[in-house]
Amino acid sequence: MELLTINNVWMMICTALVFFMHLGFALLEIGLTRQKNTLNILFKNIFIITVGLLLYYLIGFNLMYPGEFNGYLAFPDLGIGLGDMPNSYTNADGSAYADGGYTYWTDFLFQGMFAATAATIVSGAVAERIKIGPFMIFTILYVGLIYPIAGSWKWGGGFLQTLDTPFYDFAGSTLVHSVGGWAAVIAVCLLGSRIDKFKDRKIQAIPGHNIPLATAGVLILWLGWFGFNGGSVLSADPELTSLTLVTTCLAAAAGGVVSALVSTLRYKNLDLTMFLNGILGGLVGITAGADQMSPTDAIIIGGIAGALIVFAVSLIDRLKLDDPVGAIAVHLICGIWGTLAVGIFGNLASGAQFLSQLIGVASYAAICIVSSFIIIFTLKKTVGIRVSEREELEGLDGYEHGMDAYPDFRMNEH
């Protein structure tokens, strides 16, 4: 019982840290966008976490961890704790829940904090021009159904877990980050770019209004990753938890430094936003194999992720995809890289593992691209997904929410 208590307390601390990450996402997103859309972005982020938790209670948790199922799609009961309250310590057959590592309720809450992240990633990519109503509908469907179905394929014991060499994703480079990243690509393609972003066939920079807030957001996210990866050990095992936190931090540091160096060499200026996204790229990259890597492996993986950020941001701009916060580069490109890196570095490195990682990446690409396209394209053809030109130019805060984030410091932004 003492060990259960220690493990459970650690898991609850990690749950709080992952919850804290939503503040980091919100600050990063508002910092890298314009003042006139601040309230709109904050509203979306608060909506995602609140509705995400309720959806995870109603269907997500049981859909993602269904027990025995066909490996692709389960049809679980609705709700947790409806009818007979589940025993927090034991399974239905009397065996210890999670091998005695933590309780049922802790499991639900920890996993629920992950669920909302996928839609948060999309929020950043479509910032400043999407209608709030359609985005809310998308969030409900994607977080409520698509994320848990996709998650069940690996974490719920689905077909990717039953491959001869099981697909491996420790904390979600693919299951969380690329699930959001693929949807972000589809959303950006269907939504179009912000006005004047690609004016006269040239890429125009649209600076964020508060880089100090964006910096604070990244540091909060880095702190939250202690819970994101550290909690994914699913126990307070001192050796494995400590190693996971070391590899996580080293990858983040390497990602930031390499991104800053490559960006400076390429563009001849010290770009703080590229530095910040490099840190996030390193964190996303190490997330798939943080428990399997040596410190040196982590530095290499994070460093490559940092370099990828610089080239991915440039490529996305050249493809005329308008991503105000770099979400696609960070969460999709580095998520794919980190997932494949499991087959190249660390304890699991092998040709068979690399092939399984490719199968996993392709499987999640398929479900996320198809499902997000169906949802967003349907919304586009029915209720519309883009605000009017006037609303975009004058700002979504006034039109969508009837107030300003900074009423005493209103500026004319176009």
Is 414 inside a domain boundary? no
Give the single-character DSSP code of 81: S
* E strands in 210-249: none
Distance CA 218, CA 25 (A): 8
Is 115 inside a domain boundary? yes
CA distances from 347 to 280, 354, 400 (A): 24, 12, 51
Backbone angles phi, psi at 96, to 5 degrees: -65, 135
Cα angle value 315/385/398 (rounded, 5°): 100
Q: Which of 112, 346, 335 is nearest to 244 (CA)?
A: 346
Q: CB burial class (10 A; 0-12, 13-18, 19+) of residue 355?
A: middle
Q: Which domain holds residue 389?
A: 2-409
Q: What is the pLDDT of residue 116?
A: 81
Q: What is the pLDDT of residue 85?
A: 65
Is 298 inside a domain boundary? yes
Mean pLDDT by groups of 10 residues along the chain of 414 residues: 81 96 97 96 97 94 90 84 71 76 90 89 96 97 96 96 97 97 97 92 91 98 97 93 98 98 96 97 98 98 98 96 97 98 98 98 98 98 96 93 82 48
Asked if 247 and 293 touch (Cβ cutoff 8 Å), the reply is yes
Is 23 inside a domain boundary? yes
Asked if 292 and 339 touch (Cβ cutoff 8 Å), the reply is no
Is 325 inside a domain boundary? yes
Q: What is the pLDDT of residue 413?
A: 46
CATH number for position 114: 1.10.3430.10
Query: What pTM did the predictor assign?
Result: 0.95
Provide the Cα torsion 38, 39, 42, 46; round to 10°.
-170
Is 269 inside a domain boundary? yes
Give the single-character DSSP code of 320: T
Distance CA 233, CA 245 (A): 10
CB count in 10 Å sphere of residue 140 = 18
Asked if 120 and 45 touch (Cβ cutoff 8 Å), the reply is yes
Is 48 inside a domain boundary? yes
Is 393 inside a domain boundary? yes
Task: List 130's β-bridge partners, or say none.
Answer: 386
Number of domains in the chain: 1
Joined tokens for residue 160 = 């990717």
CB count in 10 Å sphere of residue 82 = 11
